Structure 1
Amino acid sequence: MTSKETVISINGTKNGNGRESQAATVNILCLDITKYSLAVQFTLCCFFVFIFYLAYGYFLELIFSDPDVAPVSLYITFIQFLITMSLSHVESAIRNPIKRKVPLRTYAILAALTLGTMSLSNLALSYLNYPTQLIFKSCKLIPVMIGSIIILGKRYGFLDYVAAIVMCVGLTMFTLADSKTSPNFDFVGVIVISLALLCDAIIGNVQEKAMKQFQATNNEVVFYSYAIASIYLLVITGVSGILKNGFIYCSIEPMTIYSNIFLLSLCGYMGLQAVLTLVRICGATVAVTVTTMRKALSIVISFLLFSKPFVFQYVWSGMLVVLAIYLNHYSKKHPNYVPRALIVFWRYVQSIYDSEYSENVSIKTT
């Protein structure tokens, strides 16, 4: 669930000085775990992240591994959006009522982007192996960097660009391995998941800008984004006939298919809440490290539970992606880091250029 993973903010309360401080209560899945130590809280969060997101990956591959689901994938996404919206509403009823702060026009854009990233990610599974799709989703650093430079005007350091290059190499090698070993590999899937990543890059930056500008909560953004996107999908599937065809497809085994979609949505939403709590108590870097380990384990489980050919190229290309993710997170703590050898080499080249330039200038002068 690519778009959900980008909606991360920490809600706090303002103290007497008007500064925002972290709330004393720590909840996970509506359970109060404040009384437990930080180590116990971290363990519980990691447990729920692994359990729910591993289950989410299982149900996602289970649903979309059927070749017949491709023509009606938008209907499956439509049902998933309705369930996610309902879960968000139920959570707001249990905790705090949703009060809209972000303009509806912004939510209309976010809904379109959410629809793009979710529907295209789901559709890609009809053309690609789940591990390949997951590797692509792990590589959203590249489009996010491009989007943040254009939309937010951000600047990146040396390690960020190195991470992007390493990630491109690992991603290319993983895709080539999949094209050689997967019997149902289709390059259309690469295009589809790339478009999903493009939407994901834009939505992440738009969400960040909107949430900072209007101080919106995660629940508000999730509810309105999915509610409006559900309206979009209702119109699209209704006009195109996918709504009818999807209903007919799911009516073949309604209990099984709708149960799987419900469990898919529930696991994704619960996993999101566990990630948000982990971000709150341990920080974003720790949370991303945990979710990255979860993705690696999801790939292993996918190869074990769903029969698919395996080559060693999957391993080392995946390790390149992991290395790129590590470099990206390391750069957050050391934004101005540049290898000393590179600095020495650059100064040496610059000194040669300066000497040559000064000599040429002196010759011309004389």
Structure 2
Amino acid sequence: MESRGGGSQILMLGLCVGAIYAAYITQGVVQENVSTRKYGEKGERFEHLTFLQLAQSVVCLFWSLLMLQVWPNTKGSQAPAAAYLKASLSNAIGPACGIVALKYISYPAQVLAKSSKMIPVMFMGALVYGVQYSLSEYLSTFLVAGGVSMFALFKSSKKVASKLSSPNAPLGYTLCFLNLGLDGFTNAAQDSITKKYPGTNAWHIMYAMNLWGSIYMSIYMFGLPGGGGWEAVKFMQHHPVAAWDIMLFCLCGAVGQNFIFLTISRFGALTNTTITTTRKFVSILVSSIWNGNHLSLQQWAGVIMVFTGLMYQIYLKWRKRSAHKKTVVESEKKRE
């Protein structure tokens, strides 16, 4: 019975890994394609990239409603929709900044910049809260910071730069780091909600976040001057291929979110972090081969430094968790 249960767990983990890889690697290719492609005979670009965030929120909203019908949560009290007001606002703005960054920097540069989330977290922890980190943790952070810096210092090929709508590395990296900061706030707010309302499940969080996200982005895109929502709709009407690209982007996001939540609920956040981190490296590799974003040897060295640092950090977390489990087991044996 145990081996059968263990086998089903391995199959489930394999399904989650495969689905997350397939969804987000495909989404990365499509996202880069939408941001760099010239549509139609006139070679028009899809300039209103924030529309991608709105479209994805709407699709993920309906996806989460479907999941709640299939797997309704009957345990404990749910968090009220109003609890997600702040978290969903930062969750709407942050990813939108990351998407818009693709106007100014290449997709591999965006992925690397967004992979350096640990740097501001450790910096704020040490500076503001007086958290003391180990030498190993500082080493992993140094590798990530050094890798991102090395990648940014060496320019991409002219072919890669020519694909960008408005090449501007400082602005692109600034938008990515703003994305990271807002993501940090979103994660902290979501943790606070789940602690206060332990009965809240992943699908309910996905539903509430995307509900408010859809409202926020709709107000921005269609209610404010310069939002560009109507222009985006007209562009898709003139270029149906762009509409299909955007729909594929949204579906990949919905499937990816679905299996990320499933992974966290079944195997924990650390397993999910390991999967998504390795996926980012594969995304850069696919982007380099598929879309011709050929990186220099120095830039590949920077990529390897970043993911060596990230994987070392994950190893440290696994080791820490294993040591904690061992301590708990030993203490229970002593009690017996």
TM-score, normalised to structure 2's length?
A: 0.80
Q: Secondary structure at the match of 1:240?
A: coil
What corresponds to 1:236 in structure 2? 220
Post-superposition CA distance 1:259-306 (Å, at most 9, x none): 222221221221233233334444433332222222111111111111
Structure 2 counterpart of 1:76, which letter?
L
Q: Give the alignment partner of residue 261 of structure 1, picking from 239, 246, 253.
A: 246
What corresponds to 1:202 in structure 2? 185
The question of 1:119 aligning with 2:96 is answered yes
Q: Secondary structure at the match of 1:52?
A: helix
Post-superposition CA distance 1:198-219 (Å, at most 9, x none): 1112212221222222222221
- Greater Rg by CA: 1
Structure 1 residues 335, 304: closer, same or farther in 2, change over 3 A?
same
Post-superposition CA distance 1:135-175 (Å, at most 9, x none): 11221122344566799986643332332222111111112
What corresponds to 1:278 in structure 2? 263
Deviation at 1:45, TM superposition (A): 2.3
Unpaired runs of 5+ in structure 1? 1-32, 337-366
Post-superposition CA distance 1:175-204 (Å, at most 9, x none): 222456542431221111111111112212
Q: Give the alignment partner of residue 128 of structure 1, picking from 89, 101, 105.
A: 105
Distance 2:267 2:129 in 1: 26
Query: When the two structures are aligned, how many residues end up with a matched partner?
Result: 303
Q: Give the alignment partner of residue 186 of structure 1, picking from 145, 168, 171.
A: 168
What corresponds to 2:298 in structure 1? 313
Deviation at 1:100, TM superposition (A): 7.2
What corresponds to 2:57 in structure 1? 81
Deviation at 1:237, TM superposition (A): 1.6
Distance 2:126 2:64 in 1: 31
Post-superposition CA distance 1:6-34 (Å, at most 9, x none): xxxxxxxxxxxxxxxxxxxxxxxxxxx97
Deviation at 1:85, TM superposition (A): 1.0
Q: Secondary structure at the match of 2:238?
A: coil
Task: Please say if residues 87 and 185 of structure 2, whose CA atoms lie closer than 8 Å, have aligned partners that are also in contact.
Answer: no
Q: Secondary structure at the match of 1:125?
A: helix
What corresponds to 2:37 in structure 1? 66
Structure 1 residues 180, 56: closer, same or farther in 2, change over 3 A?
closer
Query: Residues 150-161 of structure 1: matches in 2 within 5 Å?
Result: 156-161=133-138
Post-superposition CA distance 1:16-58 (Å, at most 9, x none): xxxxxxxxxxxxxxxxx97953333332222222222211112
Task: Please say if residues 57 and 298 of structure 1, whose CA atoms lie closer than 8 Å, have aligned partners that are also in contact.
Answer: yes
What corresponds to 2:275 in structure 1? 290
C-alpha RMSD of the superposition: 2.9
Unpaired runs of 5+ in structure 2? 39-43, 322-336
Task: Please say if residues 34 and 46 of structure 2, whose CA atoms lie closer than 8 Å, have aligned partners that are also in contact.
Answer: no
Per mean C-alpha deviation after superposition, the further-off stretch among 306-315 and 118-127 is: 306-315
Task: Please say if residues 129 and 178 of structure 1, whose CA atoms lie closer than 8 Å, have aligned partners that are also in contact.
Answer: no
Task: Please say if residues 76 and 246 of structure 1, whose CA atoms lie closer than 8 Å, have aligned partners that are also in contact.
Answer: no
Q: Secondary structure at the match of 1:72?
A: coil
Task: Please say if residues 147 and 205 of structure 1, whose CA atoms lie closer than 8 Å, have aligned partners that are also in contact.
Answer: no
The question of 1:218 aligning with 2:202 is answered yes
Q: Secondary structure at the match of 2:154?
A: helix
The question of 1:300 aligning with 2:277 is answered no
What corresponds to 2:87 in structure 1? 110
